[in-house]
Structure 1
Amino acid sequence: MIRASFNSDWQWRRKVNPFAELSGETAVYQPVRLPHDAMLAQGRAAPSGQVTMSGGAGAYFSGGTWEYHKTFFVPEDHRGKRIVIEFEGVYRDATVHINGAYAGQRPFGYSHFRIDADPFLRFGEDNEIRVEARSHQDSRWYTGAGIYRDTWMLIGDLVRVRPYGVRVTTPDIDQERAVVEVETTIENDSIAMRTLDVVTEVRDTAGTVVAVDASRITVLPNEPATVRQRLYVSDPSLWSPQSPALYAAEVALTDESGEVDTESADFGIRSLRLDPQHGLRLNGETVKLRGACIHHDNGILGAATFARAEERRVRILRDAGFNALRMSHHPMSRAMLDACDRLGMLVVDEAFDVWTSGKNEFDYSLNFPEWWERDIEAMVTKDFNHPSVILYSIGNEIPEVGSPAGAAWGRKLADKVRALDDTRFVTNAVNGMLTVLSDLIAMRNRTQEAVQEDTGINTFMSDTADMMDRISSSELVTQRTAEAFAALDVAGMNYAEGRYTLDKGLFPNRIILGTETFPTRIDGNWKLVKQHGHVIGDFTWAGWDYLGEVGVGRPQYLTADNPRPTHTAPYPYLVAGCGDIDITGHRRPASYYREIVFGLRARPYIAVRKPQHHGKVFAGGPWTWSDSISSWTWPGFDEAPITVEVYSDAEEVELLVNGRSLGRRPVGEDHHFRTEFETAYEPGEIVAIAYLGGVETGRHTLRSADGPLQLRASVEHPTVTADGDDLAYVELTLAAPDGTCHPAADRTVSLDISGTGVLAGFGSADPSTEARFDSVAGSTYEGRALVILRPTAPGRIRLVATAADCEPVEVLIPVE
């Protein structure tokens, strides 16, 4: 089928009750080009008892119902063809009407779905499509709302290749050749039997045909038929994270009158094996998953999913040392899967956060029993040809998994996935504590009156990390999860590293993946991953910071007014605060620490704690890194005490402050890859020098920002395309003349945008702010901000940024 973008010429508004609209209450439609996040445009507010507010889980954005409307012309010569409208994601509970008639719906907000449009169309005339989307107390994170992913119009003849109907597997590979099996499903909506020739060509990255096969197939009316072809690729280039070689299978249908339809599918040639001794093997080589859990939002773009934004995230995460992503807790976008294929990132794609037991008042559990099979089918169909996908996760922290009924549901889901795709493995991200949560609540209630406020179970529950690990390693959890884990290929464990060694003896055939772990424990976790063949990797929560679940990773300090830490931060907190990388794509100190633990960075790294908190009682949780940043610019704190953290895998490190040595301290694996120096702040330069066997192995230097302040702009890509779906990223930095960032000089920056582009988003990584991302004025945070521009036509985009006490900065971005 011919696939054309359906993103342009939409209008949207907040839905108004038609009776209220008759009474004069109106909401004006506004033009929009998809993808679009309707929730982001609504703004935020402090909770005031309104049930439409999402609270801290949704970053204090408001829920509601939104309408999207589009008028489109369908030529008369399309009569008799099959016309399909495809939505890659509508959040949530979407309903679609065409020319006033109900055409379809999809409750789940993360599934691809298609609407057969031709029964409702008027040919040779304008047609109207209307989409409604609802979001209301239905998630534990920021979801966004509306048509937030791409839309497409598919046009085909009565006889055609089914959408996503080309499936490619590579079941037999050696150095000389690879077997490539191509299954093509053909649909015939005519009233006649049709006999077709099917020619399939396999092309390499350069476009050279490396294998070809021709078959003939007869397709009966209204009975889809599948042709299976076996091709052979000589001297195959194998797909791997180090060398992500891609091929394309191009299928052409012809009959005596000529070409009927064409379809293509990109794929990779690679093999997967799994066993407790060698763990996960890719192309015969054991690979340990250096994993990052991520949410689907794109920071200052909200939930809007652009290919450029998805690729940027994958590239930055890869460059930070990760080789695997777990999309949490829903299926990954097609654009991100494409980027993972191209850049060599392995993927655990996850289906659901809930099954039959809800976590919010109006979440997907209300729809799960009726829709789960169709949503599993949508995920597997989308993922099937992507070599980056190695594991399907059927759920995340599903409360009922520890019950017999829940285990039966898990087996049903796992079997469904295997029936659709037996080339990958199946896991489930199980939180052992949640499987026995009712028992813990009962125990707490029984002991409530028998213990003092700071003793007994309250003390036991004060350390979240130790508590969760201890419970997950208990005999009760062992028994409750045995059936659920037995239905899987890989036992996914959230915050349960205590089971890694334990289960090697209890369940010698069990293979484990740390599907979610605390970032502060990566050194110990990674040591376990390296030690045990049956443990195939670790996925930190989280690799990239995200909107919602506000403040779970924020540093906190105990005071008389704040005697104990809280899990959720108050308004106007915006982000979770637990990502290695902030919402603008800037790497935090934890990211460099992780890179050292992974053995990927030989140089030491310096991070400095904020001196204004020196001496206070730190009360961060297990998702919380220190408040350190990589800076030696602290105006107003001359001679004040300050703590310098140094990360390194060497035996010892030395710290020099303006040439004066503070001595050497042990570091490396036996000391958790980190050490600290206490000193007094004085502007200038600090240098960390790492030593192994007394020989220097690397150094890291920080200098104070000195001299007149400058506003600098850096464009990530020299040109962008004019198709309306590309993005231009411009990083703004407040810096000294030598380029050193000045994190203490934050100020408002104003933007002037002209030419062939518009603002897509402008913001910073400020964790607590009331700033809007659709405004042309905003503040930097720790000296940085990010501008995202969307091209509208060929030409060039002109951006001028101004800030107080700085010369304006101008960038020109060609649009081709």
Structure 2
Amino acid sequence: MIRTSFNDNWQVRPKANPFAELSGHSVPYREVTLPHDAMIEQTRVPSEEGAGAYFPGGVYEYRKTFFVPEEHRGRRIAVEFEGVYRDAAVFVNGDYAGQRPYGYSLFRVDADRFLRFGQDNEIRVEARAHQDSRWYTGAGIYRDTWLLVGGPVRIAPDGVRVTTPDIDADRAVAEVATTVVNDSTEIRTADLVTEIRDAAGTVVATGTSKVTVLPGESATARRRLYVREPALWSPDSPALYTCEVTLAGLDSERVVFGVRSLRLDPDHGLRLNGESVKLRGACVHHDNGVLGAATHARAEERRVRILKEAGFNAIRMSHHPMSRAMLDACDRLGMLVVDETFDMWTSAKSPFDYSLSFPEWWERDIEAMVAKDFNHPSVIMYSIGNEIPETGTPSGAAWGRRLAEKVRALDGTRYVTNAINNMLAVMDELARFRRQAAEGAGINTLMADAGDMMNAVAVSDAVTERTAESYGVLDVAGMNYSDSRYALDREKFPDRIILGTETFPTRIDRLWALVRQHSTVIGDFTWTGWDYLGEAGIGRPQYGSTPAHVAPYPYLLAGCGDIDITGHRRPASYYREIVFGLRTRPCLAVQRPERHGETFVGSPWAWSDTIASWTWPGHEGAPVTVEVYADADEIELLLDGRSLGRQPVDRFRVAFETTYEPGELLAVAYRDGAETGRDLLRSATGPASLRAEADRSVITATGGDLAYIGLTLTDSGGTPYTSADRPVRVEVSGAGVLLGFGSADPATEERFDATERRTYDGRALAVIRPTGPGKIRLLATAPDCAPAEIVIDVREQHA
């Protein structure tokens, strides 16, 4: 089918009451371009849930007028939605055309039966979001839309599927299965031409066959082609091929795939193309920070690129199916993917969540995820759920078997996991477990935080017995916060292969050692690789005696990502890179001196309150803690060339207590007496300047491209002025519009759709959407700073 972007010329408004409108109360529409998040534009309310970042729920309606030419009469026309959050209902020319309760599933509505040919037509979409999730979801048509047009005899959408069941150095078998649909009243026979091209566009395999399809039916034509000397896809070398299938004179379809093999066993763990690989994983939510939930292709690609540069080789999409745009980016850049279905099955976690629709819709939503993922070489595993309480019951185990078998029936080439929280699986016995544990020694130490408690419960006999079947239906036992089972299960279940599907970022040194130690443990996924909106403040620094889980308004961010919502790497990210063995240089970080001496009581998701800065005006002579991360024997700390001492490294880190003096702070790492690397922080001096820097000077006008412009306060030498925060105002003119503007401030009442934002630790980020070819000019101003200007060149996209 011919696929055309359907993103332009939409309008949106809060859903109006038709009876109120009859009495004269009208709610106006306004123009928007998709993808669009209606929730991020709302005013946050302190009485709302912190899980959703204190954004209110709502019902929104979108509409679009589009012309359908007379010559389309008799053709099949569908509208495809990659994601509408949530409980979408679609109407064409006022008539109900379809719905989708789940907010993360790609779905299509057949529109041709409702259309007026040779005339304008209207499509209207309603979306609802209210107390239905444990994180910020956004609302509305937040992913791309497409208009699909094809004849009665055509290749079905997602109808070309490529597998590579047999690979060696000389050749790879590419089995291409093409589903052809015949909506006509006659038997139709057509030639099916299949071509495979390499990255350079050279045809490396081709074949022609006939396919006959009976009226009102579909047929699947399979063709085995042979790719000589195949280039294998891997994270280090993400080679891609294109498969184009042409139904002679009727239709054509093109898909991208990779040639790669997967193997799994307890002795070698996960093998990709015959080589064992450990998953250095990041859990990520779907929001794009200052853009809210709006899913633009460039935003997804930028996240994947930054995560990979930070040392990750795998992403677990948490806890919902990944966008097409991010899957494409993972394919191109070489990032492995665990794609996930649901955060709930039949047991609700929020008052109005998907559990209300799960029994009726789960099969269709699994089908949608697998159809979307099938040709992507980056996808190695499907997760059928996250922290599902039912997994500790016989009924829940039966549900798990049902879901796992459904996935396998649709795609037998990948593995199936389930991210099980063992403590949740035995919640009904938790009180009894607490009483029994309290009778033993050291209970106060054992239950010092949530992580200790979850690990203590995880090794109980109750968990072993009650989760045995739920783990048994899987290829890989996904475990959330249960590393205490890694060694235990090597003994009790020697064939059980484990994946740390969700783990504490503060414990990566010990966790990664366990991953390396056990061949049965194939990787670790931290919560989280990238910070996100909602679950407000679970990773924030806290001081005093007892930490609270969710932070009060106006907290906005979870605060537990290695990378903040603007894409800036926090100190924890460099620590992780060192633990992974990917960075030889040490990393300097400094605890904010205003809280020095207070007792830190952050949750296991909370890193120390450090930033990479040695600029602390007003704290001269005050005590300060300097942290250094390194894979070394010892660290020497120097200030302006004066040694502040040497200390041995323990668990890849060392802390120095000193007093703050402006200057140059240098950390030098040593192993066996020889220097292995150094890191330097320099105090900013003199007046602050405002700098604007674009991620790219040239972008494309279409295809979901964006310009990211970092705004940074620095001194004359370029050192960030982390202590000189001030409001920054931006003006955008020319061939673009401001799409989002913000900072990584975890607790603020500022809006992402404003033209003025205050910097946080000296930084802010502006995101611009191009409106056509030409030049985009951004002018940024801040008090006591010279204006900063940058120009972006927008060009047409060429095939």
Pair in the same fold by TM > 0.5: yes
What range is the shorter-chain TM-score in? over 0.9
User: Matches of residues 528-677 of structure 1 in structure 2 within 5 Å?
Assistant: 528-558=514-544, 563-667=545-649, 671-677=650-656
Q: Distance in 1 between matches of 2:385 and 2:584?
A: 37
Tell me which residue corresponds to 1:465. Answer: 451
One-letter amino acid of the structure 1 residue matched with residue 708 of structure 2: Y
TM-score (norm 1): 0.96
One-letter amino acid of the structure 1 residue matched with residue 614 of structure 2: W
One-letter amino acid of the structure 1 residue matched with residue 546 of structure 2: R
One-letter amino acid of the structure 2 residue matched with residue 115 of structure 1: V
TM-fit CA distance, 1:338: 0.1
3-state SS of 2:482 partner: coil
3-state SS of 1:213 partner: strand
Q: Distance in 2 between matches of 1:759 and 1:485?
A: 48
TM-fit CA distance, 1:21: 2.1
TM-fit CA distance, 1:460: 5.4
Q: Distance in 2 between matches of 1:426 and 1:367?
A: 23
One-letter amino acid of the structure 2 residue matched with residue 147 of structure 1: I
One-letter amino acid of the structure 2 residue matched with residue 641 of structure 1: P
Residues 446 and 456 of structure 2 are in contact (CA less than 8 Å); yes or no, is this contact kept in structure 1? no
Tell me which residue corresponds to 1:276. Answer: 266
One-letter amino acid of the structure 2 residue matched with residue 404 of structure 1: P
Q: Distance in 2 between matches of 1:154 and 1:24?
A: 38
Residues 297 and 703 of structure 2 are in contact (CA less than 8 Å); yes or no, is this contact kept in structure 1? no
Tell me which residue corresponds to 1:321. Answer: 311
Pair 1:79 & 2:58 matched: no
Pair 1:118 & 2:106 matched: no
Q: 1:792 aligns with which of 766, 771, 774?
A: 771
Pair 1:429 & 2:381 matched: no
Gapped regions of structure 2 (runs ≥ 5):
none
Q: Distance in 1 between matches of 2:431 and 2:38?
A: 39
Residues 636 and 668 of structure 2 are in contact (CA less than 8 Å); yes or no, is this contact kept in structure 1? yes
Residues 307 and 529 of structure 2 are in contact (CA less than 8 Å); yes or no, is this contact kept in structure 1? yes
Tell me which residue corresponds to 1:776. Answer: 755
Residues 724 and 790 of structure 1 are in contact (CA less than 8 Å); yes or no, is this contact kept in structure 2? no
Q: 1:486 aligns with which of 472, 487, 510?
A: 472
User: Matches of residues 117-516 of structure 1 in structure 2 within 5 Å?
Assistant: 117-254=111-248, 259-441=249-431, 461-516=447-502
Tell me which residue corresponds to 1:721. Answer: 700
Tell me which residue corresponds to 1:750. Answer: 729
Q: Distance in 1 between matches of 2:657 and 2:640?
A: 15
Structure 1 residues 761-783: Cα deviation after superposition (integer angstroms, max 9, x where no partner): 00000000000001001100000
3-state SS of 1:565 partner: coil
Residues 697 and 791 of structure 2 are in contact (CA less than 8 Å); yes or no, is this contact kept in structure 1? no
TM-fit CA distance, 1:309: 0.1
One-letter amino acid of the structure 2 residue matched with residue 64 of structure 1: G
3-state SS of 1:406 partner: helix
Structure 1 residues 470-518: Cα deviation after superposition (integer angstroms, max 9, x where no partner): 1111111011110000000000000000100100010010000000000
TM-score (norm 2): 0.98
Structure 1 residues 682-732: Cα deviation after superposition (integer angstroms, max 9, x where no partner): 000111101111111110000000122110011001111122732110000
Q: Distance in 2 between matches of 1:202 and 1:473?
A: 50
One-letter amino acid of the structure 2 residue matched with residue 487 of structure 1: V
Structure 1 residues 594-647: Cα deviation after superposition (integer angstroms, max 9, x where no partner): 000000000000000010010001111100000000000000000100000000
One-letter amino acid of the structure 2 residue matched with residue 20 of structure 1: A
Tell me which residue corresponds to 1:50. Answer: none
Q: Distance in 2 between matches of 1:271 and 1:710?
A: 52
Structure 1 residues 45-85: Cα deviation after superposition (integer angstroms, max 9, x where no partner): 211xxxxx3x1000000101000001110000000000010
Tell me which residue corresponds to 2:665. Answer: 686
TM-fit CA distance, 1:442: 5.7
One-letter amino acid of the structure 1 residue matched with residue 7 of structure 2: N
Residues 724 and 792 of structure 1 are in contact (CA less than 8 Å); yes or no, is this contact kept in structure 2? no
3-state SS of 1:143 partner: coil
One-letter amino acid of the structure 2 residue matched with residue 754 of structure 1: S
Single out whichever of 272-281 and 471-480 deviates more from structure 2.
471-480
CA RMSD of aligned residues (A): 1.3
Tell me which residue corresponds to 2:684. Answer: 705
TM-fit CA distance, 1:20: 1.9
TM-fit CA distance, 1:565: 1.6
Q: Distance in 1 between matches of 2:135 and 2:763?
A: 25
Tell me which residue corresponds to 1:519. Answer: 505
3-state SS of 1:249 partner: strand
Pair 1:14 & 2:42 matched: no
Could you say if the C-alpha distance between residues 647 and 373 of structure 1 is closer, same or farther in structure 2, counting changes exceeding 3 Å?
same
Q: Distance in 1 between matches of 2:703 and 2:243?
A: 28
One-letter amino acid of the structure 2 residue matched with residue 501 of structure 1: A
Residues 690 and 697 of structure 1 are in contact (CA less than 8 Å); yes or no, is this contact kept in structure 2? yes
Gapped regions of structure 1 (runs ≥ 5):
48-52
Aligned-pair identity (%): 69
One-letter amino acid of the structure 2 residue matched with residue 105 of structure 1: Q
Q: Distance in 1 between matches of 2:376 and 2:723?
A: 45
One-letter amino acid of the structure 2 residue matched with residue 189 of structure 1: D
Pair 1:762 & 2:748 matched: no
TM-fit CA distance, 1:387: 0.1
TM-fit CA distance, 1:213: 0.9
Q: Distance in 1 between matches of 2:710 and 2:618?
A: 27
Could you say if the C-alpha distance between residues 373 and 458 of structure 1 is closer, same or farther in structure 2, counting changes exceeding 3 Å?
farther
One-letter amino acid of the structure 2 residue matched with residue 648 of structure 1: A
3-state SS of 1:241 partner: coil
Residues 653 and 665 of structure 1 are in contact (CA less than 8 Å); yes or no, is this contact kept in structure 2? yes
TM-fit CA distance, 1:24: 3.1
Residues 724 and 793 of structure 1 are in contact (CA less than 8 Å); yes or no, is this contact kept in structure 2? no
Single out whichever of 432-441 and 781-790 deviates more from structure 2.
432-441
Single out whichever of 595-604 and 432-441 deviates more from structure 2.
432-441
Structure 1 residues 777-807: Cα deviation after superposition (integer angstroms, max 9, x where no partner): 1100000000001111211111100001110
TM-fit CA distance, 1:447: 9.4
Residues 754 and 798 of structure 1 are in contact (CA less than 8 Å); yes or no, is this contact kept in structure 2? yes
TM-fit CA distance, 1:564: 2.3
Residues 433 and 457 of structure 2 are in contact (CA less than 8 Å); yes or no, is this contact kept in structure 1? no
3-state SS of 1:720 partner: strand
Q: Distance in 2 between matches of 1:674 and 1:92?
A: 45
User: Matches of residues 51-66 of structure 1 in structure 2 within 5 Å?
Assistant: 53=48, 55-66=49-60
Structure 1 residues 543-595: Cα deviation after superposition (integer angstroms, max 9, x where no partner): 0000000000000011xxxx522100000000000000000000000000000
3-state SS of 1:207 partner: coil
Q: Distance in 2 between matches of 1:456 and 1:425?
A: 40
TM-fit CA distance, 1:173: 0.4
One-letter amino acid of the structure 1 residue matched with residue 2 of structure 2: I
Aligned residues: 794
Could you say if the C-alpha distance between residues 777 and 443 of structure 1 is closer, same or farther in structure 2, counting changes exceeding 3 Å?
same
Structure 1 residues 646-697: Cα deviation after superposition (integer angstroms, max 9, x where no partner): 0000111111011111221111xxx210001111100001111011111111
Q: Distance in 2 between matches of 1:16 and 1:423?
A: 47
Q: Distance in 2 between matches of 1:492 and 1:88?
A: 27
Residues 10 and 63 of structure 2 are in contact (CA less than 8 Å); yes or no, is this contact kept in structure 1? yes
Pair 1:801 & 2:783 matched: no
Q: Distance in 1 between matches of 2:30 and 2:444?
A: 53
